[in-house]
């Protein structure tokens, strides 16, 4: 998506450790007008799939998921990284390894909000090694729901996540695909 590639070229910063810093518009400060264009594009891609719910994971997926959900007229459900006191005991849970933060954590969603009748679109900001997406897919399967697909803002195709998720038969659509990064250049897939 050219508008997104342009923004990444202008404001993104490739760091030494394979991390792409886009905190000026995506995962710290949020350029809501840009995200609106991304939401529209996700709707163009998945709008005819009968989506009943959008699932993401806190924190940086929530903004994109909420803006996108306006086009689908469905609720957003965000998986929690810890199980706070204010969530009921009845949860679906999965384990996730974070590439960016180099930690493991559990994600949970309440059983009240995910069911076998749901057709779920997963939305997230990044696809790197795919652990968060695998966790979210697992939550949907545990609930007996259907995975419509996964819409991610940025896929780093030089990492293994996209291949992993697609090999499970899940449709993945990335709005920007980065095939390589060095400190001074970011190369996109055509």
- Minimum Å gap between C-beta 66 and a copy of itself is 4
The one-character DSSP state at 109 is: E
What is the closest distance, in whole angstroms, from the C-beta atom of residue 106 to a copy of itself in the complex?
A: 15
Q: Can you tell me the distance from the alpha carbon of 132 to that of 122, in angstroms, rounded to the nearest whole number?
A: 10
- Indicate the residue among 21 and 171 with the shorter CB distance to a copy of itself: 21
> Closest approach of Cβ 29 to a copy of itself, in Å?
4
Helix/strand/coil for 170: coil
Query: Rounded to the nearest whole angstrom, what is the least distance from the CB of residue 167 to a copy of itself in the complex?
Result: 27
Helix axes of 32-46 and 2-11: crossing angle, nearest 10 degrees: 150
Contacting residues toward a copy of itself, per CB under 8 A? 15, 17, 19, 21, 23-25, 27-33, 35-36, 58-59, 62-63, 65-67, 69-70, 73-78, 80, 84-88, 100-102, 109-110, 112-113
CA–CA distance, 133 with 26 (Å, rounded to integer): 18
80: which DSSP letter?
B
């Amino acid at each position: 998506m050219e508008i997104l590639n342009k923004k990444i070229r202008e404001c993104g910063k490739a760091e030494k450790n394979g991390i792409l810093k886009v905190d000026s518009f995506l995962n710290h400060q949020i350029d809501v007008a840009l995200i609106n264009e991304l939401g529209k594009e996700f709707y163009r891609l998945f709008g005819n799939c009968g989506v009943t719910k959008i699932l993401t994971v806190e924190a940086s997926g929530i903004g994109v998921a909420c803006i996108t959900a306006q086009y689908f007229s469905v609720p957003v459900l965000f998986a929690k990284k810890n199980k706070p006191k204010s969530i009921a005991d009845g949860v679906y849970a999965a384990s996730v390894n974070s590439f960016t933060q180099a930690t493991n954590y559990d994600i949970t969603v309440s059983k009240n909000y995910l069911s076998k009748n749901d057709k779920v679109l997963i939305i997230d900001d990044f696809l790197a090694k795919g652990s968060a997406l695998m966790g979210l897919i697992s939550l949907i399967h545990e609930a007996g729901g259907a995975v419509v697909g996964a819409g991610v803002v940025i896929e780093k195709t030089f990492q293994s996540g996209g291949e992993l998720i697609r090999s499970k038969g899940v449709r993945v659509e990335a709005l920007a695909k980065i095939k390589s990064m060095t400190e001074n250049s970011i190369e996109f897939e055509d």
